[in-house]
Amino acid sequence: MKPFAVVEGIAAPLPAADIDTDQILPARFMHEPRVDYGRYCFHDLRFDMQSGTRRDGFVLNRVPFDAATLIVGGSNFGCGSSREQAVHTLADYGIRALIAPSFGDIFATNCLKNGLLPVRVTPELADALLRQIERQPGLMVRVDLPAQIVNAADGWHAHFDIDPFYKEALLAGRDEIDTTLLLAAQIEAYEARRTDTGASADTAARTGLQFQGNT
């Protein structure tokens, strides 16, 4: 996956609470191949379901937010189903980080596994940032993962916490498969020891049976 260190870009405001995974990715697109998968991102909010035309009122269809790489959301962002594809469509759309007071637990974990950083801030800080964006559409927001700080061009800033394992993985651009491959030598050594131990135990058991048969 793409490494994440420092990302700076336009933040789109989505202040509603409880934005769920079905809004992010409608279920009918879940089994589509991951080719240009970002086109399904917030599909039924971005497009009229009858005509297929863009909804001018939706934030990601409006300049300058159509170039956003970050989203500032309300509480419980990404609630609902556990579909990992909701994260895939955000990442493929070009979103690198999400800033909100809280996230759906499974959704947040799926983000971290796919190179998308969920940044938890207090409700007060989230509201303050949303007000700044309302006053200054196109406000640039910077997410610094090494320092665990997010700040905006107007001086707004906040510290955020992240699990050290996921921080290291994001910085390296390493997913769980990559992490497992890094441990390949240790895994092979363990399997070799386990095989040898199992063979020794089997030999001992057969020897014991033979001994008992001779008595």
pLDDT at position 185, please? 73
Q: Are residues 130 and 148 in the same domain?
A: yes
φ, ψ of residue 163 to 5 degrees: the values are -60, 130
5 strand-pairing partners? none
**3-class secondary-structure state, position 33:** coil
Q: Are residues 118 and 187 in the same domain?
A: no
Q: Are residues 24 and 93 in the same domain?
A: yes
Beta-carbon contacts of residue 107 (< 8 Å; ≥ 6 apart): 21, 77, 78, 79, 80, 82, 86, 87, 118
Q: Does the residue 1 lie in any domain?
A: no
> Which amino acid is present at 84?
E
Q: Are residues 122 and 204 in the same domain?
A: no
Q: Are residues 50 and 16 in the same domain?
A: yes
pLDDT at position 211, please? 47
Runs of H (alpha helix) within 5-158: 21-24, 43-46, 85-93, 105-113, 123-135
Q: What range defines the domain where residue 205 resides? A: 183-213
Q: Does the residue 100 lie in any domain?
A: yes
* Kind of pairing between the strands at 70-73 and 6-14: parallel
Q: Are residues 155 and 208 in the same domain?
A: no
What is the mean pLDDT for each group of 10 consecutive residues in the chain (215 residues)? 96 98 97 96 96 96 98 98 96 98 97 97 98 96 98 94 96 81 74 74 55 51
Q: Are residues 32 and 105 in the same domain?
A: yes
* Closest alpha carbon to 26 in 56, 7, 46: 46
**For the chain, what is the largest distance between any 2 Cα atoms, rounded to a whole number of angstroms?**
93
Structural domain tally of the chain? 2
**H or E element: which one contains 143?**
strand 140-144
- 188-200 in b/e burial notation, b at 16+ Cβ within 10 A? eeeeeeeeeeeee
Cα gap 110→25, rounded to integer Å? 14
Q: Does the residue 123 lie in any domain?
A: yes
